[in-house]
Structure 1
């Protein structure tokens, strides 16, 4: 660690004496350097955290000290017996007013001795930090040889820099964090929200974000156009050596993620092969293939969900770490075999839509797929994963609410609408009353003979006899489809 003012004053061979109160300033703050200058305003040549050594009292002590404090000077040393005896009282008073530590340098102590002490400590600290960076980098490199290379590297980085480290996956979710309990839900959400625009840009980028767990530095991982995630590192107080270590980890993590791409692609193809074997009825073969790599297939009863949407790949990546049942990609669809809650959660997270079958067994998947496809046509923004159970409960007439059915119905009813726009409503009321003219006429507020005439007009316009059940059923279906 660099020298502090306390350590500097404690060196007996230097003989320095603090002239201001020991409560002024931060006597334990690290000193960046020591510099001597008798310029009226030396601040353009100084940096924050430095010690200034002078032999001449300034003309305006108050303004002089104020400039030093505003510039971040750590302390002021006055050399006695060079130009004058003792230290000037007005300089001491100004330092007391502005909170700048002032110490006296006796004539026997050359300024170079003070400078050398600070410089030696700065050099020793730099050497120690560089040595630490080499050891830390070596430990992280060895961690990369473990089976879970990425997790081991990030865990070792967190241990070496004593800061939290997290990996935001390509889907924007915080997948891993080290230490495991370092981030609460709010911190994870803040990291995800900050990483999202970096991932959406598709380019190598960096950023920062403040969280309940402190500030984090963000760095994308992977090549431009195929980003694999974002590395988030707690950045509070990181020095140059620690930043060098983090830079090395960014390269290692990016390499580990790129190497896992081939393995991920192989797992995806294996999942697809298992799914197609299940659909073909080769359940025993599918189970034997899936067990050692993907885990056991789910027990019956299960439900089959078919999902689609632009974020299908990101959803599949997320399911690799979060799925409880079986899933696979089949063309432009994501298949999930499990419970309805799992499919609904994935759809909500990645803005997907689809359909969900009824309870089934693995030996009845073709029928379950047909059910999910039927339900998928009923999915809406309010109900992104429609259930076949709901479709079946609504009855056959509920299937009429499709664009195709509506188009056919509007065409068949067009003669009625063209002749009298109110005629479809009259016919719907008549059919809802089971074709009983007296009941329907009362509901419509007209005479029953008038209603008979309106129905006769409809028969003429449609070119069909509405006395038969089949004709009435066809008309009723068309009216329901356009409702």
Structure 2
């Protein structure tokens, strides 16, 4: 890519036709002082020309204003503070050579000083620099047009979007990557252009942009490297992000990137249309699987995940990004998976051997996922019901497996809000007595039942005499209206204690 900067003072001084000579020594100037972009060349013999100057220009003078050598230091100081990049002195016009005071002042303020010989008119110096700026601008426009043509041809190749990204990277001579709507890096060139650490931090920043859902054309720094991010798609419905390793881009480079964004948007929109059609098909196939018949899905898809399978339901998940994520898992890791949108959420079916992938999906998207126990396809509907049962009582993000949700006791599955209200109402006389009488009858009952309704070990655990415990159990039975000598009453009491809130 041609240089994005305008010509420099060094380039101007190096022109042989002008005969300019750098007077300042290298150790008397800041590093890179003659290599900064030079915007213009101006001439003036005013004692203080700074009100009429702009930054980043070179000033030419014949020194007629230097009547008092003591004022030269102040003169150069004003120029440096105004942002003048260099001072050219025309010799043999009013003075022979360059005043020593001027050389000293320029060295003191880090101002590059160069000699303009008598044979070189100031207008020739200004014209030469103006022509260099025009040539550089023409080169940039030519580069932009040539790059646009190359990108158009790249878009016509197989895998056009990947080819376009690779061509853009070559033309910019920078690393370029494109992320999809899920924040995954779908294509990059060169592949090993960034270190693992820098790429990980860049991925986080891209994910932040996509999460906020705002259109962006922003610059950022990761470590010591500068990047620019450009979103693809409209705000609130982003298709992806294009990341470029560059601290800044000039107008021509930005126009090229804008065309790539348009191409990427079109390509991703076409992909999204195909994805929507595929999701509609999968929704229909889910209906046949819910009938415990995988035959249609096998014929249409050419295969389904191998049994035993787990069925998962992702709540509060957007079908598109989640489906895209699983499709990449299929392509990159060979994981067989079936994903379909439904009224209950996104349904995911995969082999039980691959069930650990669900944890990664829940963490990446911050969603809730209920997972069934391993089943065969003739029990698909039961597995789906298990996934929903695991999902319902779980509020936070993460994976809840049916086996874990019901493994502790059948009572946990029956502990609905209505059941808790009934249990708390039945235990109210007991709890009221404990609150006013001071005796912990409820605690005595729990300890007694936990020790299989045996008095001796329960009394030892409570640290009371066995007769005291018998009295408390009898008193509690009377308050609850239960005959605790039989198993049915004891079972009911245990259910009430387990169901009611503590």
TM-score range relative to shorter protein: 0.7 to 0.9
Q: Which moved more, 1:5-14 or 1:413-422?
A: 5-14
Q: Is contact 1:312-1:352 (8 Å) kept?
A: no
Partner of 2:413: 399
Partner of 1:357: 372
RMSD between superposed Cα atoms in Å: 2.9
CA distance in 2, matches of 1:182, 1:479: 63
CA distance in 2, matches of 1:58, 1:297: 89
Q: Does 1:280 align with 2:315?
A: no
Shift in CA distance, 66/129, structure 1 to aligned 2, threshold 3 Å: same
Partner of 2:301: 290
- Give, in angstroms, the shift of residue 346 of structure 1: 1.1
SS at match of 1:229: strand
CA distance in 2, matches of 1:301, 1:182: 42
Q: Which moved more, 1:305-314 or 1:203-212?
A: 305-314
Partner of 1:204: 215
Q: TM-score, normalising length from structure 1? A: 0.88
1:268 aligned residue (279, 282, 286): 279
CA distance in 2, matches of 1:181, 1:108: 54
Partner of 2:175: 164
Partner of 1:474: 492
- Give, in angstroms, the shift of residue 101 of structure 1: 2.5
Shift in CA distance, 227/234, structure 1 to aligned 2, threshold 3 Å: same
CA distance in 2, matches of 1:49, 1:172: 41
- Give, in angstroms, the shift of residue 90 of structure 1: 1.4
Show structure 1 runs of 5+ residues with no match: none
| Paired residues for 1:309-328 under 5 Å | 309=316, 314-322=321-329, 324-326=335-337, 327-328=339-340
Q: TM-score, normalising length from structure 2? A: 0.85
Partner of 1:307: 314
Partner of 2:242: 231
Q: Does 1:32 align with 2:36?
A: no
CA-to-partner distance for each residue in 1:335-389, whole Å, 9 max, x for gaps? Answer: 22233311111111222123222222333312222322332245364x8312223
CA-to-partner distance for each residue in 1:202-237, whole Å, 9 max, x for gaps? Answer: 443432211136222223321233222333222325
SS at match of 1:420: helix
CA distance in 2, matches of 1:125, 1:35: 20
CA distance in 2, matches of 1:441, 1:6: 97
- Give, in angstroms, the shift of residue 329 of structure 1: 1.9
Partner of 1:16: 20
- Give, in angstroms, the shift of residue 132 of structure 1: 0.4
Q: Is contact 2:38-2:58 (8 Å) kept?
A: yes
SS at match of 1:77: strand
Q: Which moved more, 1:39-48 or 1:129-138?
A: 39-48
Q: Is contact 2:76-2:105 (8 Å) kept?
A: yes
Shift in CA distance, 450/84, structure 1 to aligned 2, threshold 3 Å: closer
Q: Which moved more, 1:40-49 or 1:54-63?
A: 40-49
CA-to-partner distance for each residue in 1:304-332, whole Å, 9 max, x for gaps? Answer: 22221255654344334345341222224
CA distance in 2, matches of 1:299, 1:212: 45
